[in-house]
Amino acid sequence: MFCFQCQESAGGTGCTIKGVCGKPHDVANLQDLLIYVLKGISFFSVGTELPEALDRRASVFIMDSLFATITNANFDRNVFVAKIREALALRDEVRRHWEEQRIGAAAELPDAAVWQADDEASFDAKATFVGVLATADPDIRSLRELLTYGLKGMAAYTYHALQLDHSNPQIDLFMRRALAATLDDSLTADDLVGLVMEAGKYGVEAMSLLDEANTGTYGHPEVTKVNIGVRNRPGILISGHDLKDLEELLQQTEGTGVDVYTHSEMLPAHYYPAFKKYDHFVGNYGNAWWLQTTEFAAFNGPILMTTNCIVPPKASYKDRMYTTGNTGFSGVRHIPEGPDGQPKDFSEIIAHAKRCEAPTELESGEIVGGFAHHTVTSIADQVVEAVKTGAIKRFFVMAGCDGRMKSRTYYTDFARELPRDTVILTAGCAKYKYNKLDLGDIGGIPRVLDAGQCNDSYSLAVIALKLKEIFGLEDINDLPISYNIAWYEQKAVIVLLALLYLGVKNIHLGPTLPAFLSPNVAKVLIEKFGIGGITTVEEDMKMFLGA
Ligand code: FSO
Ligand code: SF4
C-alpha cells in the first residue's frame, strides 16, 4: 500500500504498512483498485450519450465509491470487493454504449478501461500496481492525487445532498471528466493545474448544493445554545455528517424513552429549526472524532456512525457501535438502506439503547453556534458597524479539521492568544480546539462564530462575499479576514480548492502541508495563491497582524 491522502500520513510522507488511521494494507489497495475502475467507467462515459437511468446510476455509483474511500469512513474489505465487482460490470455496460457511438479508428484503450477479473485474489494482486505510485513523475502524480482527493471531498458533499434529493448533473459530469483526465498521459502539469482549479469551481457548486439541500429541508441554522451535559436516560450517540440519518433516528426514537446525542461533526444539527421540536434531542456529547476511543466507552449506549471519522473501535464499545451509509468496519453491525427509498430501520439500535445505562457525564454547560450565512447576513449591520468603529479589527477563518497530532494544540493557543478585538469564523471539527474556551464577545457578537460542519465552510465564503459587497471592495482579499485553516482529510481538500477558486489568497494550512504536494506543486500554490504553513503562535500572530 501507499497512501498519503490525509494529514496524518506516516512520517509526513505516506503510509506503507498500515494506515495511521487504522486502514489495513489490503483495504488501502482495494480502495486504489476501486478508484482505478472508476477511471475506466469515466473514460467510456465522457462524451458518450447514456440512457438516462444508466447515466444516473453511473453518477451515483462514482459519487458513492469516491466517498467510501475517504479517510476514516470505511475499513471493510468486503465492501470494497463488492464495489469493485459492481464497478467492473458498470464499466462494461457503459462501454457498450461507447462502442456503439464511437466514430473513427479505435485508439489504444487504457488498462483501467479493459482490465478484467472476478476473483478476490486477482483483485488483491492487481491492486498493488494501480495506486498512487503507478504515476512515476512526482509532479503529475501530485496533481492527479490533488485532483482525486478534491473529487473525494466533492463526492461526500454531493452524496449528502442526494440523500435529500438534491443533485447537480454538471458536478457529476465534471467528476467523470476529471477522473478520466487522470488516465491521460498527454496532459501536462499545466493542464492538470487547470483541472484542479476547475475542481474548486465545482467544489463551490457542491457545497452550495448541499447548503440548499440542508437549509431547504431543515431550515436555516439559528443561533443556538447546545447542552454538553447528559440526562439520566439511555441514549444513542450519532456521529458523522448525514442529517437525513439523524432525522430518521429522531423520528424513530420519539416516545421510546431513549435520548439522542450528537457527536463531533453532527453537533451543528442542533442549529437547524427542524430538529428543535424533539425533546429527546438532548445535546452534544464529547469532542472531535479522534477522542472517540475514550468518549465512546463512557457513553454507555449505542453509537451510530453515519460518515467519517471512525477510529478502529476498542473492545469496550465495539459491540455498541453501528455503521450506516458509506461507513463500515469489519465486525461492526451495519444498518442498510431502507427498501425502495423508505427510511432506514434503526429499531435494533433503539432496542440496544434500552438495555444500556445512561451516558457518563464528561462535562456540563453549553456551547453556542448557528452562525451560518443566513444568521450572519441578518446581523450584517451590527457586524459592519463593529468593523467601522474598530470594535472588530480582524476576522480569522479557523475552519477545518481537528486531529490527534500533538502539534494541533497550536490552534487552541492561537485562539487564546488572539487579541480581543478579533473574531474567529469556524466550521468543521477544528472548532473543538477552542469552542469551549470562554473567549467572550464583542458588543454581543461571540468571538467564535460557528457556521456548522466542514461543508458549511461554504457559509464562511458567502459571508466574506457579502462583506466585500457591503464594503464596496474590488477584491475579497482586501477584507480584514485572515485564513488559518487546519486540515485532516479530503473534504478539507475540496474546501481549500473552493476557497482558491473564489480568489482567496494567503491561506495558511496546518498543522503540516499535505504530503501529496510535490515540491514543485507546492511552489505553484505558494507563488500563485500565497499558500503557507504555520510556524509558532507567536510568529504567526505577528505575521497575521502585521505587528
Ligand atoms: Fe472531515 Fe475535517 Fe467534516 Fe471533521 S473535513 S475531519 S470529523 O472536519 O469532519 O469531515
Ligand atoms: Fe495513512 Fe491517512 Fe491514508 Fe490512513 S488515510 S492510510 S492515515 S495517509
pLDDT tens digits, 476-527: 999 999 999 999 999 999 999 999 999 999 999 999 999 999 999 999 999 9
- 56 C-beta neighbours (distance < 10 Å), count: 14
pLDDT of residue 104: 66
* Residue 122 alpha carbon to ligand 2 centre in Å: 24
As a whole-number percent, the residues of the chain with pLDDT over 90 amount to 98
Phi-psi region of 414 (alpha: psi -120 to 50; beta: other; left: phi over 0): alpha
Angle, helices 77-101/120-127, rounded to nearest 10 degrees: 80
CB of 514 within 6 A of ligand 2: the answer is no
Tell me if 429 is assigned to a ligand binding site: yes
Nearest-5° Cα angle at 107, 101 to 113 = 80
Least confident of 259-263, 345-349, 378-382, 497-501: 378-382
CB of 7 within 6 A of ligand 2: the answer is no
Residue among 72, 266, 289 whose CB has most ligand 1 atoms within 8 A, to mutate: 289
- The predicted-structure confidence for 355-365, as pLDDT tens digits, reads as follows 999 999 999 99
CB of 516 within 6 A of ligand 2: the answer is no
CB of 87 within 6 A of ligand 2: the answer is no
3 state DSSP class of 286: coil
- The predicted-structure confidence for 21-35, as pLDDT tens digits, reads as follows 999 999 999 999 999
- The predicted-structure confidence for 420-471, as pLDDT tens digits, reads as follows 999 999 999 999 999 999 999 999 999 999 999 999 999 999 999 999 999 9
Q: Residue 499, class by beta-carbon neighbours within 10 Å (0-12 exposed, 13-18 middle, 19+ buried)?
A: buried
- 409 C-beta neighbours (distance < 10 Å), count: 12
Judge if the upstream peptide bond of residue 309 is cis by omega within 30 degrees of 0: yes
Q: Is the pLDDT of residue 107 over 80?
A: no
* Residue 374 alpha carbon to ligand 2 centre in Å: 36
Q: How far apart are CA 53 and CA 64, in angstroms?
A: 16
Provide the pairing of β-strand 259-262 with 235-239.
parallel
* Residue 120 alpha carbon to ligand 2 centre in Å: 23
Q: Which residue has the cell 469512513?
A: 73
CATH 2.40.30.30 is right for the domain spanning 1-102+114-134: no
As a whole-number percent, the residues of the chain with pLDDT over 70 amount to 99
Q: Is the dihedral of CA 260, 265, 271, 274 positive or negative?
A: negative
User: What is the residue with the minimal CA distance to atom 3 of ligand 1?
Assistant: 454
DSSP string, 391-452: S--EEEE--B---S-GGGHHHHHHHHHS-TTEEEEE-SGGGGGTTTS---EETTEESEEE--
Residues with Cβ within 8 Å of residue 162, at least 6 apart in sequence: 60, 63
CB of 6 within 6 A of ligand 2: the answer is yes
pLDDT of residue 546: 86
Q: Do the beta carbons of residue 2 and residue 133 sit within 8 Å? A: yes
Q: Is the dihedral of CA 326, 331, 332, 335 positive or negative?
A: positive
Backbone angles phi, psi at 51, to 5 degrees: -55, 145
Q: H or E stretch including 324?
A: strand 321-324
Identical topology for domains 1-102+114-134 and 224-354? no
Q: Is the pLDDT of residue 105 over 90?
A: no
pLDDT of residue 547: 63
CB of 15 within 6 A of ligand 2: the answer is yes
Q: Which of 191, 188, 176, 196 is nearest to 37 (CA)?
A: 176
Residue among 157, 265, 326, 495 whose CB has most ligand 1 atoms within 8 A, to mutate: 265
User: What is the residue with the minimal CA distance to atom 3 of ligand 2?
Assistant: 3
- 373-545 has which fold? Rossmann fold (3.40.50)
**Which ligand gives the minimal distance to the CA of 157?**
1
Q: Is the pLDDT of residue 106 over 70?
A: no
Tell me if 21 is assigned to a ligand binding site: yes
Q: Do the beta carbons of residue 322 and residue 303 sit within 8 Å? A: yes
* Residue 491 alpha carbon to ligand 1 centre in Å: 7
Rounded alpha-carbon distances, angstroms, from residue 410 to 416, 452, 481? 10, 22, 19
Q: Do the beta carbons of residue 461 and residue 204 sit within 8 Å? A: yes
Length of the chain: 547
Tell me if 466 is assigned to a ligand binding site: no
**Which ligand gives the minimal distance to the CA of 8?**
2
**Which ligand gives the minimal distance to the CA of 408?**
1
* Residue 265 alpha carbon to ligand 1 centre in Å: 7
Ligand 2 atom closest to 1 (CA):
6
Ligand 1 atom closest to 428 (CA):
8
Q: Which residue has the cell 465492501?
A: 79
CB of 9 within 6 A of ligand 2: the answer is yes
- The predicted-structure confidence for 254-271, as pLDDT tens digits, reads as follows 999 999 999 999 999 999
Tell me if 6 is assigned to a ligand binding site: yes
ipTM given for this complex:
0.95
DSSP string, 454-465: GGGHHHHHHHHH
CATH 3.40.50.150 is right for the domain spanning 224-354: no
* Residue 23 alpha carbon to ligand 2 centre in Å: 7
**Hey, where are the domains in the chain?**
1-102+114-134, 224-354, 373-545
CB of 401 within 6 A of ligand 2: the answer is no
Q: Is the pLDDT of residue 48 over 80?
A: yes
- The predicted-structure confidence for 396-410, as pLDDT tens digits, reads as follows 999 999 999 999 999
Ligand 1 site: residues with CB under 6 angstroms? 241, 264-265, 289, 308-309, 400-401, 428-429, 453-454, 488-489, 491-492
Tell me if 356 is assigned to a ligand binding site: no
pLDDT of residue 182: 98
CB of 80 within 6 A of ligand 2: the answer is no
CB of 403 within 6 A of ligand 2: the answer is no
Q: Please, what is the average pLDDT of the chain? A: 97
Q: How far apart are CA 290 and CA 288, in angstroms?
A: 6
**Which ligand gives the minimal distance to the CA of 267?**
1
Region 348-372: what's the mean pLDDT? Answer: 98
Ligand 1 atom closest to 156 (CA):
10
3 state DSSP class of 85: helix
Q: Residue 72, class by beta-carbon neighbours within 10 Å (0-12 exposed, 13-18 middle, 19+ buried)?
A: buried
pLDDT of residue 103: 74
* Residue 257 alpha carbon to ligand 1 centre in Å: 31
pLDDT of residue 269: 98
Q: How far apart are CA 110 and CA 277, in angstroms?
A: 54
Residue among 2, 16, 17, 21 whose CB has most ligand 2 atoms within 8 A, to mutate: 21
User: What is the residue with the minimal CA distance to atom 2 of ligand 1?
Assistant: 401
Ligand 1 atom closest to 491 (CA):
5
